[in-house]
């Protein structure tokens, strides 16, 4: 897989104590990488990181990416071959409460990662993970392409658009012309679901908490439409792009931005998502719409034509499978009380890879 690129490579995952960062670290470990993590402690209890323990990492550094000196020391120690930068304030509603924190972590924190790489003269690939919400959302039916305008109604979305601009600027100003530095790319995913997410104000964790506590699920925006995808989908895109970049010059078309979203059939309403979850884990939901609540996008979708054309990347699991695999993970941990969620999580990666091989997706067969 991935041209066996990651075996014995030193890989840094920032935000490794988070949901997506944890799954990425685990997958990298199965690929034979020497994985380092850089992050603050997990903000939730329970969390996915506690399942990984030290099994996925050769080293972990607790660090606030708003501290350039600390980030620089960490990068100097690790000297990675490739960086996946996921550390972020990732909740839209929190950005209304902590707007400056959101901007500092997402925008300035990213600048610190890139500046530390530059100052320490580390020749590495840097994959900056942003969000589908970085686009100027016009609430239309069309899927956003990588060359569509950036923007953001809320501070979170704006901070992700700024992060995109920071990555582009650092790459053009300092990295492209310096042969001692590698390329910087940005990647944008859809609404990611999967086991191990316990964030506040995200619909799947909200559902699971309600189901575990045997109470109705309160749904804030039942008719909002999102591009739902399993966490392993976008991670496969990140990993494949990183491996391909290692074989390309910095003048390559791959040194750019990419969407890694689901097929159009996975663009479903929040209500449909909740109903699919309840089909796997019986319970009830209630409409908790509030016209005075902070603004959140109603309609959002991504075009993945570029990823298909340039990378041969395509989704593997459809909407129904993604939801089922997600609920199975939570059921295994909270209903069946499994004591070995590390093996169960690894088995889900193996299952996903097997399905990708069956579909002859490029990263699984080349």
- The domain that contains 94 carries what CATH number? 3.40.50.720
Whether the CB-CB separation of 247 and 300 falls below 8 Å is answered with no
DSSP 216-277: PEEES-TT-EEEEEEHHHHHHHHHHHHHHHTTS-TTSTTSSEEEE---GGGEEEHHHHHHHH
C-alpha R_g of the chain:
19
DSSP 120-172: TT---EEEEE--GGGB-----SSPBPTTSPB--SSHHHHHHHHHHHHHHHHII
Question: Is residue 330 in a domain?
Answer: yes
Sheet holding 191-193, edge to edge: 191-193, 225-230, 267-269
Number of H helices, E strands in the chain: 14, 12
| Predicted pLDDT at 140 | 84
Report the SS3 class of residue 11.
strand
User: What's the number of domains the chain is made of?
Assistant: 1
User: Please, which residues have CB within 8 angstroms of residue 69's CB and are 6 or more apart in sequence?
Assistant: none
Q: Give the span between the Cα atoms of 5 and 167, in whole angstroms.
A: 24
Question: Is residue 76 in a domain?
Answer: yes
Question: Is residue 62 in a domain?
Answer: yes
Which H helix or E strand runs over 328?
helix 319-330
| Predicted pLDDT at 298 | 75
| Predicted pLDDT at 264 | 93
Question: Is residue 217 in a domain?
Answer: yes
Question: Is residue 2 in a domain?
Answer: no
Q: Give the span between the Cα atoms of 125 and 60, in whole angstroms.
A: 20
| Predicted pLDDT at 190 | 85
Q: Give the span between the Cα atoms of 296 and 300, in whole angstroms.
A: 11
Sheet holding 82-85, edge to edge: 59-62, 34-39, 10-14, 82-85, 125-129, 184-189, 257-260
Q: Give the span between the Cα atoms of 137 and 148, in whole angstroms.
A: 10
Question: Is residue 317 in a domain?
Answer: yes
Task: Tell me the pLDDT tens digit for each residue of 284-319.
Answer: 999 998 877 776 777 888 999 999 999 999 999 999
Whether the CB-CB separation of 233 and 359 falls below 8 Å is answered with no
| Predicted pLDDT at 223 | 92
Segments forming the whole domain that contains residue 171: 7-365
Tokens of 283: 């319970």
Whether the CB-CB separation of 291 and 169 falls below 8 Å is answered with no
Go through 128-162 and write b for each residue having 16 or more CB atoms within 10 A of its CB, e for each that does not.
bbbbbbbbebeeeeebbebebebebbbbbbbbbbb
Go through 189-210 and write b for each residue having 16 or more CB atoms within 10 A of its CB, e for each that does not.
bbbbbbbbbbbeebbbbbbbeb
Handedness of CA 77, 78, 82, 84 (dihedral sign): negative
Question: Is residue 190 in a domain?
Answer: yes
Question: Is residue 250 in a domain?
Answer: yes
User: Please, which residues have CB within 8 angstroms of residue 326's CB and are 6 or more apart in sequence?
Assistant: 193, 194, 195, 204, 230, 277
For the chain of 366 residues, list the mean pLDDT of each consecutive stretch of 10: 95 98 98 98 95 93 98 98 96 93 97 98 98 91 94 94 98 97 96 96 96 96 94 98 96 97 95 98 94 76 96 98 98 95 98 98 92
Burial degree of 337 (CB within 10 A; 0-12, 13-18, 19+):
exposed
């Amino acid at each position: 897989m991935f041209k066996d690129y990651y075996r014995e490579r030193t890989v840094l995952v920032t935000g490794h104590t988070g949901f997506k960062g944890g799954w990425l670290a685990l997958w990298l470990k199965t690929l034979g990488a020497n994985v380092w993590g850089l992050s603050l402690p997990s903000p939730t209890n329970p969390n996915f990181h506690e399942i990984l323990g030290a099994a996925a990492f050769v080293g972990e550094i607790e660090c606030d990416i708003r501290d350039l000196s600390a980030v620089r020391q960490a990068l100097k120690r690790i000297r990675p071959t490739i960086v996946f930068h996921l550390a972020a304030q990732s909740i839209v509603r929190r950005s209304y409460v902590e707007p400056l924190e959101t901007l500092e972590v997402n925008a300035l924190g990213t600048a610190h990662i890139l500046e530390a790489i530059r100052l320490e003269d580390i020749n590495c690939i840097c994959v900056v993970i942003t969000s589908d919400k970085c686009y100027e959302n016009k609430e239309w039916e069309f899927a956003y392409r990588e060359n569509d305008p950036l923007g953001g109604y809320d501070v979170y979305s704006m901070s992700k658009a700024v992060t995109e601009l920071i990555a582009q600027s650092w790459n053009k100003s300092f990295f492209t012309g310096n042969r001692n530095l590698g390329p910087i790319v940005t990647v944008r995913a859809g609404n990611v679901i999967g086991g191990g997410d316990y964030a506040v104000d995200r619909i799947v964790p909200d559902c699971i908490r309600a189901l575990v506590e045997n109470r109705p699920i309160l749904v804030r925006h039942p008719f909002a439409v999102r591009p739902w995808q399993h966490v392993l989908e976008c991670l496969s895109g990140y990993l494949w792009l990183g491996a391909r970049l290692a074989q390309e010059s910095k003048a390559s078309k791959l040194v750019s931005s990419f969407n890694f979203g689901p097929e159009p059939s996975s663009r479903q309403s929040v209500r449909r998502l909740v109903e699919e979850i309840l089909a796997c884990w019986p319970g009830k939901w209630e409409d908790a719409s509030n016209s005075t609540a902070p603004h959140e996008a109603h309609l959002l979708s991504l075009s993945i034509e570029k990823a298909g054309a340039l990378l041969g990347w395509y989704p593997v699991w459809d909407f129904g499978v993604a939801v089922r695999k997600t609920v199975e993970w939570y059921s295994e941990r909270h209903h069946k009380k499994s004591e070995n969620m590390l093996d169960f999580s690894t088995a889900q990666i193996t299952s996903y890879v097997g399905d990708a091989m069956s579909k002859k997706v490029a990263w699984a067969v080349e």
